[in-house]
Every structure is written in C-alpha cells, then in structure tokens.
C-alpha cells in the first residue's frame, strides 16, 4: 500500500493535521490509521477543557505564559510556551469554525473555567466532555474531505527506516529516514507494508503502563516505543502526571473514571478520612495548586491514614449548577450510589498524562527525517516537568498546525527529490518465517499485570533509588521474556502492546534514574531538592 501522507492516530492532533493537509493539498492522498474505532482516543476522555486567553480585559498572554512556566518547574522551553499561548487562540477559533461547541453564559459570551495552576478564568469547555465534543467536530469535518481515508482496526507494528534495507542505523546516524510503517490489519490478520512520503505519529499517551489510569485501553505508548526502536530521540519520560482525582472504585484495574479538576475550580474541597480540608497545609493555593502538588499531598494523606482514597466534598455546591456543568460526573456517581449533594466522592490519584515523549522541534519534526509527532506522544518543550491543566488540547492543535505548515512547505519544494538516496522498491515485506500461531496468551496477560504492578509500586508518585533499581531489574527480565516470545510467535496486538509498554516502562525508569533531583512530577526521596542544573533527559 502507498499513500502520500500517513497519520497514525485519530485524536485531536492527528485529525487536525490530516484535515489541514488534505484541504491544502487536494491532489495528495491522506491516510489515517487507528487501532480501534475512529473516536476511541485520549482526546475523547479529556473532560476539563482547553485553555486560551479569551478575555483580554482580565487575562493576558503574559499571565498564561507565566502560569505555564510555573507549572513546568523550570524545564519549559520559553520560546515554545510563547508560541503555543499566542497561536493557540487562533487554533481555538478555527475548531469553532469547524463546528465545535463550547458552553456559553446567558449573555452569549463563552463560559470560562479556572483550573489548578491558572491565575485567571480562561478554560473553554463543553460540559464535562470537552474532548468528546472536539473529536465529534473533527470527525464530521473529516468526512467532507474526499482525499482522506480513515482505516480503523489497523495496528502499526513498527516504523520503516533504512535499517530495513540492510543499512546500519545507530544513535549517531544524523539522517535516519522514515519510509512508512508495517501495520497489522486486524481484519485480515496480515502485516502490510505501508509506504508514505510523510508520516505523523499522533498515538496519544501511555497510561496503561500503570495499574490504574484515566486513559483508555488504547493508551499503550506505541508511538514512543516505535520511535525509540527506530533510533529516534526520546525526552523527559520520567515526568508522568498523576491526576489527583480519579474516582476510587475498590478493586478496579485499568481505566478509572476521571473527576475533572474543574470540579475543584468550581469549589470542590479535598478532605482526608478525618474530614479535614488538608490542602491548606501543602500549598497556599489549596485545592487549586498544580496537579503534582495536589497528587503528592493526597498520596501523603493516604499513607498517613492507611486509606486508599481521600474525599472530594461537593455537598455545599449548588446542585443545579453542578448538574449543568458536570452531567456525566453526576450520573456516574449516582450510578454507584453517590449523591453528590449528600455524599462526598471517593478519589485517588491515577496515571493521567505523559509530559515527555518523542522529542520534536518547533515544527513538530522528530530526529527522524519525514517523521513528525504531535499530541501527547510528543515532547515539544511546552510542559517541562509538569503540565498545566487544559494546555494539552491546545498544544495538540498548535503543533498539528505547525507540522501541517512544514509538510506543505516540503511538498511545494518537491518532497520526492529528497528520496534520491533510497529506493523504496527495495523495502522488504514483513517476514513471518519461523513463527508459530500464538498459544501462550496467559504469558502475555500475566506479563502485563506484572508490568503494571511494578510501575505502580516502584515508579509512581513518590520514588526512591532502590525502587527504581528494582523496577529496572524486573523490566529487564520482562523484556527478555517478551522478546523471545515476539520472535517465535505470530504477531498479535496484545503482544505488540505488551512489547511497547515494556519499552515505555524502561524509558520512564531509565530517565528517572538519570534525574538526580526532585522536580515537577518526578519526586525522589533520595534526591529531595532541585538541582541548580536545568537538564532535559534525552535517550
């Protein structure tokens, strides 16, 4: 199979990029791969909203930039922050033109929310399903573009680079090229060679590496793992954001229901098992402190009291307003017997967002030629050591737009001329000789449980050198066992995802071991203070 532009992932980054390239280059074929249905993405589960300086009477670009830099704890790229904040408002206006609906006040102005770390009300939202609304609008817009093809149930196994042609590729190789991907068609059960002039990775996050996460089952870090295997640069993987307030349901493993930070923005109060509003002891911003501070505070309270959750108190809030702003949260709580007007909501931190990822420049370009990355799988320099709430959807749209601009520039400059050194006709098909039908699914599921357990226990909110070293030893064994299985068994999505998650786990632990300080989302009790040296960990 051949296409001009290949997009891996159908979240806000992938769809925005695909739509823009298709409109600007109607003679080019744009293909979108997604491993399940088209709207099952991390974007869909983004409850809170999208941040942007909308009301300049009370807000300013400078304030949004400053809030982002404070949350990033010294590691944000200030130039990138300025780009995202200043260009982001135009991207929001654009998606509104494409049909996205945001909540409005009775006078017709957009209703702006405030979340932890923000100094002003600047978060646009659609009830408590903002991401789902943006996904809907983009998918509707995609349908009107005849040169876009969306292929569902297609699992990308690996990026094709010149080492598939027999050339040696090393970390020091300055000009690694991406020629497309090998992809497993889940309907035909065959691995296809897919050649493309340009490939964009928009594969989302990696929350499934942990036992409990707000991410859907598809968030297995595929893009990061594939880029790393292809010798691409990966950055700051130790910064895993744990959302402070996932709904606590005893015995749950996998995706937890998110209680958006906007609930605290509207007045929700965190309380411990004694009923104490404890955040006043941890930060002067109390319940609206940045997520890393709130998550560590909750972790500390749970360890002090020996409980597995704290409480989010909304009983004092106006019911009609709560139901209007957070209808899905209200219904979910009611479905498990929690009436928010009478009962506090049990919450606990859960893996939520990866601030690191595939290292990109200001145009979304990775260290591999013809390969872009955008969205959560990319490390753009915006988030630094900790993401400011509701900046992620903004970042995805800004860098999807910038990658699109750079792509069009390449196309207009005669993209195919850059391919002179390599002849695509010699790229081999996927080799399946010597493999057998998968017989040991129990090995895959058990290894996945082991991975999620060790990452949650040893590489969670609070870390130590001993925990990290133990995690690395366990990961080494899991990697060895899984690679043996991978070489001997027919490819399956479950095996590929396990392999990718072990790789991501390794990158998180390796980066955490290299960081000899506590900063942002990385807190190591053996290095409790910040280093004077500002350093990005690049693998």
pLDDT value at residue 188: 83
Q: What is the pLDDT of residues 185-239, one digit of tens each?
A: 888 888 999 999 999 999 999 999 999 998 988 899 999 999 999 999 999 999 9
pLDDT value at residue 42: 59
Residues 335 and 395 in one domain: no
Query: Chain-wide mean pLDDT for the chain?
Result: 90
Cα separation, 490 vs 157, in Å, equals 12
Residues 156 and 231 in one domain: yes
- Helix (H) / strand (E) element for 314: namely none
Give how far the C-alpha of residue 423 lies from the chain's centroid of Cα atoms, to the nearest Å.
34
Flag whether 466 is in a domain. no
Cα separation, 151 vs 529, in Å, equals 48
Considering only 31-35, 47-51, 64-68, which range has the smallest mean pLDDT?
A: 47-51
Q: What is the pLDDT of residues 353-388, one digit of tens each?
A: 999 999 999 999 999 999 999 999 999 999 999 999
Flag whether 496 is in a domain. no
Structure tokens at 10: 């159908």
CB atoms within 10 A of CB 164: 18
Residues 334 and 218 in one domain: no
Structure tokens at 184: 């497993």
Residues 212 and 315 in one domain: no
Q: Which residue of the set 291, 467, 515, 519 is catalytic?
A: 291
Whether residue 301 contacts residue 272, with contact meaning beta carbons closer than 8 Å, is answered with: yes
* Residue percentage of the chain with pLDDT more than 70: 92
pLDDT value at residue 165: 56
Flag whether 15 is in a domain. yes
- Helix (H) / strand (E) element for 310: namely strand 310-313
pLDDT value at residue 435: 55
> Which ranges in 232-290 belong to alpha helices (H)?
262-265
* Residue percentage of the chain with pLDDT more than 90: 72
pLDDT value at residue 172: 53
Which string of DSSP letters, residue by residue, matches 145-205?
A: -TTEEEE-SEEEEEEE-GGGGT----TT-TT-B--EEEEEETTTTEEEEEEEEEEEE----
Give how far the C-alpha of residue 475 lies from the chain's centroid of Cα atoms, to the nearest Å.
22
CB atoms within 10 A of CB 395: 28
Flag whether 162 is in a domain. yes
Sort residue 469 into left (φ over 0), alpha (ψ -120 to 50) or beta. Answer: alpha
* Among candidate residues 404, 419, 434, the one where a domain is terminated: 419
pLDDT at 518 over 50: yes
Domain range for 306 is 244-350
Whether residue 385 contacts residue 72, with contact meaning beta carbons closer than 8 Å, is answered with: yes
pLDDT value at residue 57: 87
Q: What is the pLDDT of residues 313-351, one digit of tens each?
A: 999 999 999 998 899 999 999 999 999 999 999 999 999
- Helix (H) / strand (E) element for 381: namely none
Flag whether 514 is in a domain. no
Give the CATH number, domain containing residue 151: 3.50.50.60
Residues 137 and 286 in one domain: no
pLDDT value at residue 419: 46
Flag whether 204 is in a domain. yes
Cα separation, 146 vs 144, in Å, equals 6
pLDDT at 418 over 50: no
Residues 205 and 251 in one domain: no
Q: What angle do CA 5, 383, 268 make, to 5 degrees?
A: 115
Structure tokens at 153: 């149930």
Q: Residues 6 or more apart from 300 whose CB is under 8 A from it?
A: 282
Whether residue 314 contacts residue 346, with contact meaning beta carbons closer than 8 Å, is answered with: no
Which string of DSSP letters, residue by residue, matches 399-464?
A: HHHHHHHHHHHHHHT-GGGGGTT--GGGPPPPP-TT-B----HHHHHHHHHHHHHHHHHHSSSSB-
pLDDT value at residue 185: 86
Cα separation, 71 vs 208, in Å, equals 24
Q: What is the pLDDT of residues 148-168, one digit of tens each?
A: 999 998 999 999 987 655 555
Cα separation, 69 vs 520, in Å, equals 11
pLDDT at 412 over 70: yes
Whether residue 75 contacts residue 249, with contact meaning beta carbons closer than 8 Å, is answered with: no
Q: Residues 6 or more apart from 349 whose CB is under 8 A from it?
A: 242, 243, 244, 245, 246, 295, 298, 299, 461
Residues 231 and 249 in one domain: no
Cα separation, 67 vs 61, in Å, equals 10
Q: What is the pLDDT of residues 82-132, one digit of tens each?
A: 999 999 999 999 999 999 999 999 998 999 988 878 999 999 998 878 888
Residues across the chain: 539
Flag whether 452 is in a domain. no
Q: Confirm whether pTM is higher than 0.85.
A: yes
Cα separation, 511 vs 286, in Å, equals 30
Residues 24 and 77 in one domain: yes
Torsion of CA 352, 140, 115, 83, to 10 degrees: 90
Considering only 43-52, 241-250, 301-310, 428-437, which range has the smallest mean pLDDT?
A: 428-437
Cα separation, 310 vs 268, in Å, equals 13
Please compute the mean of the pLDDT values over residues 36-58 and round it to a whole number: 76
Give how far the C-alpha of residue 10 lies from the chain's centroid of Cα atoms, to the nearest Å.
13
Residues 219 and 94 in one domain: yes
| Beta strands 378-379; 371-373: pairing state | unpaired
| Beta strands 123-124; 112-113: pairing state | antiparallel
Residues 303 and 344 in one domain: yes
pLDDT value at residue 291: 81
Q: How many independent structural domains does the chain possess?
A: 2
pLDDT value at residue 421: 43
Q: DSSP 3-state assignment of 386?
A: coil
Structure tokens at 129: 């399903």
Residues 54 and 186 in one domain: yes
Flag whether 464 is in a domain. no
Q: Give catalytic status of residue 291 as yes or no.
A: yes
Residues 316 and 369 in one domain: no
Cα separation, 274 vs 88, in Å, equals 43
* Among candidate residues 292, 323, 350, the one where a domain is terminated: 350
Give the CATH number, domain containing residue 274: 3.90.700.10
pLDDT value at residue 420: 42
Beta bridge partners of 7: 32, 200
* Among candidate residues 304, 332, 350, the one where a domain is terminated: 350
Q: Residues 6 or more apart from 8 whose CB is under 8 A from it?
A: 14, 33, 156, 181, 199, 200, 201, 202, 203, 222, 223
């Amino acid at each position: 199979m051949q296409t001009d532009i290949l997009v891996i992932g159908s979240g806000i980054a992938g769809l925005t990029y695909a739509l823009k390239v298709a409109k600007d280059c109607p003679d080019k074929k744009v293909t979108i791969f997604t491993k399940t249905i088209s709207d099952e993405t991390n974007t869909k589960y983004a409850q809170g909203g999208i941040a942007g300086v909308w009301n300049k009477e009370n807000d300013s670009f400078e304030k949004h930039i400053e809030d982002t830099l404070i949350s990033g704890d010294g590691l944000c790229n200030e130039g990138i922050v300025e780009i995202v904040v200043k260009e982001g408002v135009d991207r929001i206006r654009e998606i509104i033109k494409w049909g996205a609906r945001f909540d409005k006040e009775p006078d017709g102005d957009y209703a702006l929310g405030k979340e932890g770390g923000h100094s002003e009300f600047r978060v646009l939202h659609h009830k408590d399903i903002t991401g789902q609304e943006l996904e809907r609008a983009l998918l509707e817009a995609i349908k009107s573009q005849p040169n876009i093809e969306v292929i569902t149930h297609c699992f990308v196994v690996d990026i094709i680079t010149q080492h598939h042609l027999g050339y040696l590729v090393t970390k020091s190789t300055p000009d690694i090229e991406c020629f497309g991907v090998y992809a497993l068609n889940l309907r035909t059960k065959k691995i296809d060679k897919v050649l493309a002039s340009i490939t964009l990775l928009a594969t989302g996050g990696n929350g499934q590496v942990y036992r409990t996460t707000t991410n859907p089952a598809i968030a297995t870090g595929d893009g990061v793992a594939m880029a790393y295997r292809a010798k691409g640069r990966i950055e700051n993987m130790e910064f895993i954001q744990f959302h402070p307030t996932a709904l606590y349901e005893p015995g749950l493993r996998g995706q937890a229901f998110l209680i958006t930070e906007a609930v605290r923005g509207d007045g929700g109060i965190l309380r411990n098992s004694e009923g104490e509003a404890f955040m006043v002891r941890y930060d002067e911003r109390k319940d609206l402190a940045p997520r890393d501070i709130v998550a560590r505070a909750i972790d500390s309270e749970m360890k002090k009291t020996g409980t597995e959750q704290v409480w989010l108190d909304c009983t004092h809030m106006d019911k009609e307003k709560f139901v209007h702003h957070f209808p899905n949260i209200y219904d979910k709580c009611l479905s498990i017997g929690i009436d928010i007007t009478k009962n506090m909501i049990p919450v606990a931190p859960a893996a939520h967002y990866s601030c690191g990822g595939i290292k990109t420049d200001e145009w979304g370009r990775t260290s591999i030629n013809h390969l872009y990355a955008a969205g959560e799988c990319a490390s753009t320099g915006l988030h630094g050591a900790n993401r400011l709430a509701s900046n992620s959807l903004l970042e995805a749209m800004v860098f999807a737009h910038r990658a699109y601009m750079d792509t069009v520039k390449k196309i207009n400059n005669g993209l195919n001329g850059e391919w002179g050194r390599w002849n695509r006709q010699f790229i081999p098909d996927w080799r399946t000789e010597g493999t057998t039908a998968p017989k040991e699914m129990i090995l895959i599921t058990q290894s996945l449980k082991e991975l999620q357990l060790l990452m949650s226990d040893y590489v969670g909110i609070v870390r130590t050198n001993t925990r990290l070293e133990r995690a690395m030893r366990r990961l080494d064994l899991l990697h060895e066992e899984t690679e043996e299985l991978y070489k001997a068994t027919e490819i399956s999505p479950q095996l590929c995802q396990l392999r990718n998650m072990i790789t991501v786990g390794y990158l998180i632990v390796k980066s955490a071991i290299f960081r000899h300080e506590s900063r942002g989302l990385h807190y190591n009790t053996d290095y409790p203070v910040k280093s004077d040296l500002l350093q990005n960990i690049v693998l």
